[in-house]
Amino acid sequence: MFASTLRRSVLLGILGLFVAVGAAGADDKKDVPVDLKVGDPTPAFQLRNDADKIWNSSDHFAKKWVVIYFYPGDFTPGCTAQAKAFNAAMDKLTEKGVEVVGVSGDSVRTHELFKKTHKLSFTLLADSEGTVAKQFGVPVGKGATVKARDAANKPLDLDGKQYEFERTATAARWTFIIDKAGKVAYKNIKVVPPDDAKKITEFIEKANEKK
C-alpha cells in the first residue's frame, strides 16, 4: 500500500510539473512582442472614436488606403505638430482615397477636445490600455498627467480652470499604411512628427504610379 501511495504521489507531482510548465509557457507567449512586418495581414480591432462611437477596422481595411498612426498623446508639442501636418495634407490624401486615423492612449473626451481645438478633419481613436498598439507591436509605456494648451499655445481653460487630464497608457510614435488588400504596406518606427504626413503622401503617390 505504501508503494502504491508513493507511485501516486510521484505521478501527481509530475502532472503538476507539466501543468506548471504549460502555464508558464502560455504566460511567456503573452509577453512576446508582436513583430508586424510589411506584407503581413493587419490585426482586426474595435475602438471608440472622438465622437464616442465604435470604429471597427473591418469597415475600413481592405477597402481603401488607411493610415494608422500611433502617437504618445494629445496636446503635447510633437503630437500636435504631427496632427496639424496630417490635417494640412488631408485634402491631397483624401483625393487619393486615403483615410487617416490617429491612435493614442487618451480618452474619448480628450480626443474630442484635441480635435476641436486644432480643427482636425480626421478620426482619433481611444486606446486607453494600449491594447491595439500592442497588437501592432508598438511599445507601450506608462501614462502621464498632461495640461492641455490651445491652438495659440495658451492654457486650455474649461469652466474657469485649465484642463488637465490623465493618460493611462503612452504608445510610441509609429506609423503604418494598410493597403487595399488589408495588409501592411508601410511601417515607420522612427517618425519625425512634422514630416510624417509628407512621407505618407509620397509613399501613396509612388504606389499609385506603379499601378
Q: Is 175 exposed, middle or buried (0-12, 13-18, 19+ CB in 10 A)?
A: buried
Q: Is 158 a catalytic residue?
A: no
Distance in angstroms (rounded) separating the CA atoms of residues 153 and 144: 19
79, 93, 113, 177: the catalytic one is: 79
Q: How far is residue 155 from each of residues 50, 105, 109, measured CA to CA in Å?
A: 21, 21, 17
Give the residue among 151, 130, 135, 157 at the shortest CA–CA distance from 73: 130
Distance in angstroms (rounded) separating the CA atoms of residues 158 and 171: 27
Which residues carry out catalysis?
79
